[in-house]
Amino acid sequence: MHRRNFGRLLAAATFALAVTTAMVPAPVAAQTEKTITGGFDVGPGGFPGNFNPQTATAGFTWLNTYFEPLVIYTSDLSKLVGALASDFAVGEDNLTYTFKLVETNWHDGKPFTSADVKFTLELAKNAESGSIFAARLAGIASIETPDEHTAVVKLSKPNSAFLSVLSQVMMLPEHALSSMDVKEIAKSPWWSTKPVGTGPFKFTKYVSDQYVEMAAYDGYRGGRPKVDRLINRYFANPAAAVSALSAGEIQFTFAEPDDAKTFKGNDNFRVIEGDSYVVNYIGFNHRAGIWNDLRVRQAVMHAIDRNAIISSLFGGAAKLANCGYVAPQLVPKDLSDYAYDPQKAKDLLAEAGWEKINGDKPIPWLTYYNTPQVANVMAAIQAMLAQVGINVVPRALDVPSYNGIVRSEKWPDFPLVYAGLQNGPNPASLNVGLNAAQIPPAGNNIMRVEMPQLTEALNTAMAETDPAQADAKWQQVCREMNAQLPWSPMWVASRYGVVSGKLQDFFWTPAPGGGPFVSHPEKWDIAP
Amino acid sequence: MLQYILRRAAVGLLMLLALTVLIFTLLRLTPGDPIDAYINPSVPMSASDLVVLRTRLGLDQPLPVQYLAWLGAAVTGDFGYSIQRGGEPVLPLVLGRIGPTILLMFSGLAISVVVGIATGILAAVRRNELTDLSLSTAAFVGISSPAFLTALLGLYMFAVVLRWVPAGGMLTPGAPFSVGDLMAHLILPAVLLSIGHGALIMRYMRSSLLEVLSQDYVRTARAKGVREFWVIVKHAVRNALLPVITLIGSTIGIAIGGAIFIESVFDWPGMGLLMINAVVRRDYPVIMCATLLTGACVILVNLLTDIAYAAVDPRIKVA
């Protein structure tokens, strides 16, 4: 072939390539407006695509940028303070809650009043609206509105968890929603097209599966936000969000521990580390029949070198848990620490007659955690349990499959799980998972724990509304858990967020379900 | 002929119906339903709330009742509401995803065809030279590289390290629409999508052209004094392209699969990402509608192909 002819051929091919790619110009120039873009719904605290706060189990970090509850946790999650309630008080009967409301307007200019509070709480209490708070607010006997800026809520019986639940109930505008059929409210396009809240940012646009955009609300009572726009980008997984953060396209995201490590020591980023408030445990299915003997459950605790796992697999970023809590005020000093002692584990199993109970038959061990770290943790525990004669076989499932199995009655499918349960900031959250009255289908006690003393301790603590007395009651719950081992508590791992160095006055805490907590989005700023 | 078309169309409809029954049944055989996808296992939640939600969504009804209710609404064009998206209507949601998938798929296909054919020709005319060896080696690497690996490596290299292109999405969030922005987001996933397919086309083109170049009529053309460029372009490439075109047509299905995977890595808002999210969240209305539309497309393409064959080749019995 002549070189000249070949050259023409090559030129033709190059031209064809050029035609395909010539239209690709440089990316769009940076916006002049101040914009913060983040992956606010990435990770366990997010709930992408759900804009109705009454059907959301998480995602409150983002929802709280435009909706607000009456009361809210401080950013360290230590106590509840007023949000849309300027002041609140609990009556001596422990049944009457009086909320004084702030003077503010909805994003559409209408005033926020006690009628909105009454409307919202009644809607949240009505299960027909699809609200996930219905059962938790069932104890509301009445809601009175003596004037526009006062709402009085009366309960039928004392509930120490009431204010904590209320912190996730975002106030909604009566004037915008009251004309809708209650059963249709959850399906309404209002939530994703024109919702109005009272928060520092107002809803502008939702591009399905891509992002939500907010604009600064000039009339916010805390002052106009410092940035003009806030964008919440959606990602298929945390790794994709971390890539976007590394590439400078977003300024914040949740990060898995391994990803967070790569940002440590990098001056362009700030790593936020905090308590996940989720206690990880090895859950015994109490109806499986093989865990009935307390000595077997104690043996599991003694067989696992938790300190070694925390130091080697968590890199020290986890706290040991000897009951369902780790907050110091809820954990008494006299707990057994179930130190690593494989010989003691073997002796306990021998005393209990483990050979006859199960022996070396494989025990399926389910989890819904699909991270490499948990796979390593479970492999380590599998090896440790094998050394004392307990043969567990880890199996990771997707969340719906896991929930489908553990909420059903399929005992052989889940004699053992590796799971987590929120243990704060409201200590009452464990009641749903451990009280005998909460065994499915009534509640969320998926391990079917039926321990009378533990149930009694939970009931006593639940009814205690005096904060000074409550901690002692919750300590008793912790004591019962430690002694009876309804589960083998393991640890509470740290959770991470990574922030671009460009962000200023940005508050975030790895709160359960994303909070909400006092995060002052109106103060967030970004350097040019 | 009309009778043939009508008969094939009727068969197509029956196939679609069978597909919906199959998908509906398979979905319900998997453990977990939309309510189970709602529950964060780490967040304590009251079961009674979920029972109400289950009733409201009709998930407490027997499966045949649920299926017939879905089918009855679907024939009127009502595919219901997405369970996990706060009531977003399903049909516009799914229809809105067809465009991005077609854009990504055909961009990838166009690049793979152009690059594959060009490099195939180059390798064939430079047979056993360094160019051929280099291109063939590259093609082997391209064919044997798993798509997830090339996608992740490409993402890391060009978006994270070099920052030449965005790391994901179809448009810059919040920015006004521009073709340039779209192309900047499209180029990397499209190129990565084209790698395996392009490498395959290159191999086919090379071997096909080599075979044609050894034919008598090529030798005759050269003997007649036709210049080498025209021998290759006019005489050889045209004939060598026939099996390659067959390959391109038959592997469009593979391209759709590749596009679905690339969509999930690059957060490209197409059918693939929609379906993956819907499956993970057990969002049945979305899964059913997306499956039905994809199935309808495949059946329609097959129908058109059969009709085209019948029209072109009278030997195919149409009576």
Per-residue pLDDT of chain B (319 residues; tens, 9 = 90+): 788 888 888 888 898 899 889 988 888 777 777 777 767 777 666 666 677 667 767 777 888 888 888 888 888 888 888 877 766 788 988 998 888 988 998 899 899 999 999 999 999 999 899 999 999 999 999 888 887 788 889 988 998 889 999 988 898 888 888 999 999 999 999 999 999 889 999 999 999 999 988 888 888 888 888 888 888 888 888 888 877 877 776 666 666 667 778 888 888 999 888 888 888 888 888 988 988 888 887 788 777 777 776 776 666 655 4
Which distant-in-sequence residues (6+ apart) come within 8 Å of A23 by Cβ? Answer: B179, B180, B183
Is the Cβ pair B280, A398 closer than 8 Å?
yes
Is the Cβ pair B167, A244 closer than 8 Å?
yes
pLDDT of residue B243: 78
Quickly count: other Cβ atoms within 10 Å of residue A477's Cβ.
29
Is the Cβ pair B169, A233 closer than 8 Å?
yes
- The answer to whether the CB of B89 falls within 8 A of the CB of A53 is no
Residue of B nearest to A125 (CA): B49
pLDDT of residue B313: 63
Is the Cβ pair B56, A128 closer than 8 Å?
yes
* Chain A residue numbers touching B174 (CB-CB < 8 A): 31, 35, 37, 211, 213, 229, 231
Extract the runs of DSSP E, i.e. beta strands, from A363-507.
363-367, 392-396, 416-422, 487-500, 503-504
Residue of B nearest to A492 (CA): B42
Is the Cβ pair A441, B282 closer than 8 Å?
no
pLDDT of residue A189: 86
Selecting from B42, B166, B170 the residue whose C-beta is nearest the C-beta of A278 gives B42
Q: How many residues does chain A have?
A: 528
Burial of A129 (0-12, 13-18, 19+ CB in 10 A): buried
Q: Tell the residue number behind the tokens 């609140």, with chain if given.
A: A88
pLDDT of residue A28: 41
pLDDT digits (tens, 9 = 90+) for A135-151: 889 899 999 999 999 99
Measured distance CA(A326)–CA(A328) in Å, rounded: 6
Q: Which of residues 29-88 of B touch A (CB under 8 A)?
A: 30-34, 36-53, 56, 81, 84-88
Strand-pair partners of A396 = A367
Selecting from A6, A211, A433 the residue whose C-beta is nearest the C-beta of B125 gives A6
Which distant-in-sequence residues (6+ apart) come within 8 Å of B92 by Cβ? Answer: none
Axis crossing angle, helix B238-250 with helix B252-266, rounded to the nearest 10: 60
Selecting from A5, A136, A249 the residue whose C-beta is nearest the C-beta of B227 gives A5
* Chain B residue numbers touching A1 (CB-CB < 8 A): 125, 228-229, 232
Is the Cβ pair B180, A26 closer than 8 Å?
yes
pLDDT of residue B309: 67
Instruction: Tell me if residue B121 falls in helix, strand or coil.
Output: helix
* Chain B residue numbers touching A443 (CB-CB < 8 A): 46-48
Is the Cβ pair A23, B183 closer than 8 Å?
yes
What one-character DSSP code corresponds to residue B319?
A: -
B228 touching A (Cβ < 8 Å): yes
The domains of chain B are located at: 13-90, 101-312
Taking the CA of residue B315 and the nearest CA in chain A, the distance in Å comes to 38
Which parts of chain A sit beneath pLDDT 50? 1-31
pLDDT of residue A12: 47
- In this structure, what token pair is assigned to residue A295? 């000595």
Quickly count: other Cβ atoms within 10 Å of residue A321's Cβ.
23
Instruction: Tell me if residue A458 falls in helix, strand or coil.
Output: helix
Q: Which of residues 274-303 of A touch B (CB under 8 A)?
A: 278
pLDDT of residue B316: 60
B128 touching A (Cβ < 8 Å): no
Burial of A466 (0-12, 13-18, 19+ CB in 10 A): exposed
A437 touching B (Cβ < 8 Å): no
Strand-pair partners of A283 = A417, A487
Measured distance CA(B260)–CA(B151) in Å, rounded: 12
- The answer to whether the CB of A275 falls within 8 A of the CB of A319 is yes
Selecting from B40, B46, B170 the residue whose C-beta is nearest the C-beta of A58 gives B40
The CATH T-level fold of domain B101-312 is MetI-like fold (1.10.3720)
Q: What is the ipTM of this complex?
A: 0.75
Measured distance CA(B306)–CA(B4) in Å, rounded: 10
A223 touching B (Cβ < 8 Å): no
* Chain B residue numbers touching A442 (CB-CB < 8 A): 47-48
Is the sign of the CA dihedral A340, A342, A346, A349 positive or negative?
positive
Q: b vs e for A6-32, b when ≥16 Cβ sit within 10 Å of the residue's Cβ?
A: bebbeeebeebeeebeeebeebbeeee
Axis crossing angle, helix B238-250 with helix B90-125, rounded to the nearest 10: 150
CA angle A176, A178, A182 (to 5 degrees): 120
Helix runs in A34-113, H state only: 60-63
Q: Which of residues 162-221 of B touch A (CB under 8 A)?
A: 163, 165-175, 178-181, 183-184, 186-187
Tell me phi and psi for residue A494, to 5 degrees: -80, 155
Measured distance CA(A303)–CA(A339) in Å, rounded: 9
Selecting from A16, A57, A208 the residue whose C-beta is nearest the C-beta of B43 gives A57
Taking the CA of residue A149 and the nearest CA in chain B, the distance in Å comes to 30
Tell me phi and psi for residue A39, to 5 degrees: -100, 70
B232 touching A (Cβ < 8 Å): yes
Q: How many residues does chain B have?
A: 319
CA dihedral B32, B37, B41, B47 (to 10 degrees): -80
DSSP H/E element including B19: helix B2-29
DSSP H/E element including A213: strand A211-216
